[in-house]
Amino acid sequence: MNLVIDAGNTQIKLGVFSEGRLLHVETTVEDSFTDRIKSLFNSYPGIGHAILASVGHLEKCYTDALTVFCPVHVVGARTRLPYRNSYATTQTLGADRMALATAAFYRFHKENCLVIDAGSCITYDFVNDYGEFLGGAISPGLKMRYRALNAFTARLPLLEPEEPLHLVGNATVSSMHSGVVNGLLLELDGVIDQYKSRYSDLTVILTGGDAQFLSNRLKNTIFALPNFLLEGLNQLLEYNKS
């Protein structure tokens, strides 16, 4: 069994895999991390390896807790990748994007695949039908856009994401919802359309914390796979065991 850990900007996602099958998934926070790890090893004593992908600088405290139970692979610049990596600055490529590209490479082998991760940031990662990771794009995520309106203005409130009732907002709050949500949806559909114009038979994956909120509102056809990053981490771990 493998334990996979996705430590994002706001939460930590834990998954347990056995022979490629996801048995358990949960979300926790840093303060509860050690307790949750102990509980998982009690529940799944067959866990023999772990892998950690962190977008922040918290790897050491996590690995210290994990190495008590099993060997840990921390995703980084030295991680071996199953695909050809054509990213120009490999040292700065995020662990989450490496895992997402891995999942795309294995699940959609010999297909053009665009993976959109709707988390704190929106990341676009493209693997072509030759199994080559070309890169993508990074833009502000849904909640980050709401926070920016509040932080960089004097009077705009901090709102939680909400579906706009009308295109034309008739008050400050409804105008903000229209601007943020419709703006992001137009960005997503626009980026997908640009990729489709360049690459035939494009498969689009939407994952991340805001995937459910966004998926039914997009015009383009996508696959919503909430555990796609965990899947890629498990595959990376298996690839780096040998």
The residues that are catalytic are 96
Element at 214 (helix H, strand E): helix 211-215
Q: Which amino acid would we find at residue 158? A: L
For 21-102, strand residue ranges (E) read 21-28, 49-54, 72-74, 84-85
Handedness of CA 80, 102, 49, 121 (dihedral sign): positive
Question: Cα–Cα distances in Å, from 101 out to 36, 82, 234, 242?
Answer: 28, 9, 12, 20
Report the C-alpha gap between 82 and 106 in whole angstroms: 9
Contact by Cβ (8 Å): 210, 188: no
Helix axis angle, 142-151 to 183-198, nearest 10°: 130
Contact by Cβ (8 Å): 100, 162: no
